[in-house]
Amino acid sequence: MLKRATFILTFVVSLAILAGSALAAPPIKIGGLFAVTGPASFLGEPERNTAQMVVSEINASGGIKGRKLELIVYDTQGDATKAVQAANRLIKDDKVSAIIGPSTTGDTMAVIPVAEKAQIPLISCAAGSKITDPVKKWVFKTAQNDGLAVAKIYENLKRKKIAKVAILTVSDGFGSSGREQLKAQAAAHGMQIVSDDTYGPKDTDMTAQLTKIRGSGAQAVICWGTNPGPAVIARNAKQLGLKLPLYMSHGVSSKKFIELAGDASEGIVLPSGRVIVADLLPNSDRQKKSLIAFVKDYQKHYNAEGDHFGGHAWDALMLLKGAIERGSDNPAAIRNQLERTRNFAGIGGVFTYSPNDHAGLAKDAFVLVEIRKRDFALVK
């Protein structure tokens, strides 16, 4: 009798376990489009790493509403065609509820029509203002707008009583968006652009452009691009003995730029999210707690400093988490809840989305930093 009872009990428990497994909620699928390899890998690799780290931690804490997240990442290699192919695969084959990325403005602009047609929320990790301006119903972003970065630079130049500037921008999506903003905001800030030149993403020498700038009457140079081009420009400027103040965009806001530019990086000023100077912020800063936690977490997982770019993916995942918690994993519900996000203190800034603003950040999302002794320091 005892053996029979034990058998029945074991049988019932086994059935319960099997039933529980059968009824277990399926994971919530999130797509990731990152330039993990290729020229933009300094953006995409930390974004991919951060996304994996955050998803693992969410799952270890029980998931969202008891459901695990499944992150499906494809490497765009910084190629718009590959990005579009991967976006279609995520939507049609993998059936994701939302997509984070791509890493670059060009890739993002190529993917937007795909996400809009399929009505899948897309949270870009790229900076171009045109990603969300004008507002697109299914598209959001976490990287600070380049328009805000331009304003930060121009305000600093005005305080220094500098009015004549040379701009040198990369001929890709990020560079063209920055160039548009530099030109559009110049008059309002009392700036005169006396030299307007470009360089190619794969160019290895910009001596000709810098020589032209030296004879232009410019009082400062603003370079707009992502690595490695800006580092080449910094080294070329040092080799030419160009003494003009050199400003970079937030596209080089990581230690990788300092590594590439070496001693030529000394004294360069750029706008950046707060994460690269987190330890220098006052305790009253709303973001400081999240920033310090992110930096330490990334260091623990990858033995490297968490940076500005990985922060874009952190923000995207946490914004998605909040939207799903408030609603559901249905793409339309996620979109609606993202648009209702208010005062979320993330890595890139304090986000408040609305029907008229899918960028979500104000000018104070940026601080100005200066490179001193191969490290970043706050510009007061």
Closest CA to 286 of 335, 245, 338, 344: 344
Percent over 70 (pLDDT), the chain: 94
Average pLDDT over residues 132-144: 97
DSSP string, 228-254: THHHHHHHHHHHHT--S-EEE-GGG-S
* Residue 21 confidence (pLDDT) above 50: no
Closest CA to 101 of 9, 84, 236: 84
The pLDDT of residue 380: 82
Confidence band of 101 (pLDDT split at 50, 70, 90): very high
Tokens for 7, please give them: 């058998």
Q: Quickly list H helices, 160-193.
A: 173-186
Closest CA to 247 of 135, 343, 142, 169: 169
Average pLDDT over residues 102-115: 96
* Residue 7 confidence (pLDDT) above 60: no
Any idea what DSSP says for residue 166?
E
The pLDDT of residue 19: 43
Cβ-Cβ contacts under 8 Å for 65 (sequence gap 6 or more): 324, 325
Using an 8 Å Cβ cutoff, are 30 and 71 in contact? yes
Average pLDDT over residues 361-365: 91
Sign of CA pseudo-dihedral 85, 88, 94, 99: positive
Map residue 199 onto helix, strand or coil: strand
Considering the domain 147-272 in this protein, what is its CATH number?
3.40.50.2300
Give pLDDT tens digits for 39-80. Answer: 899 899 999 999 999 999 999 999 999 999 999 999 999 999
Q: Quickly list H helices, 187-280.
A: 207-214, 229-240, 255-261
The pLDDT of residue 2: 47
The pLDDT of residue 4: 54
10 or 358: which carries more pLDDT confidence? 358
Q: CATH homologous superfamily of domain 28-144+287-363?
A: Response regulator (3.40.50.2300)
The pLDDT of residue 173: 87
Average pLDDT over residues 91-115: 97
Closest CA to 145 of 378, 335, 358, 342: 358
28-144+287-363 and 147-272 in the same fold:
yes
Closest CA to 113 of 94, 133, 137, 90: 137
Cβ-Cβ contacts under 8 Å for 281 (sequence gap 6 or more): 274, 287, 288, 291
The pLDDT of residue 15: 46
User: pTM of the prediction?
Assistant: 0.86
Confidence band of 20 (pLDDT split at 50, 70, 90): very low
What value does the mean pLDDT of the chain take? Answer: 93
The pLDDT of residue 363: 85
Average pLDDT over residues 248-275: 95
Q: Among all chains, which residue has been given the structure tokens 């999210």?
A: 273
Give pLDDT tens digits for 272-294. Answer: 999 999 999 999 998 998 899 99
The pLDDT of residue 10: 52
* Residue 192 confidence (pLDDT) above 50: yes
Tokens for 327, please give them: 């609603």
* Residue 94 confidence (pLDDT) above 70: yes
Percent over 90 (pLDDT), the chain: 88
Residue-range domain boundaries for the chain? 28-144+287-363, 147-272
- Single-letter residue type at 310: G
* Residue 152 confidence (pLDDT) above 70: yes
Give pLDDT tens digits for 205-218. Answer: 999 999 999 999 99
- Single-letter residue type at 254: S
- In what side-by-side order are the strands of the sheet with 98-100? 69-75, 28-34, 98-100, 122-124, 139-141
Average pLDDT over residues 167-175: 94
Lowest pLDDT segment from 21-25, 96-100, 244-248 = 21-25
- Measured between its terminal Cα atoms, the distance across the chain in Å is 82
Give pLDDT tens digits for 217-236. Answer: 999 999 999 999 999 999 99
Number of other CB atoms surrounding residue 197 within 10 Å: 16
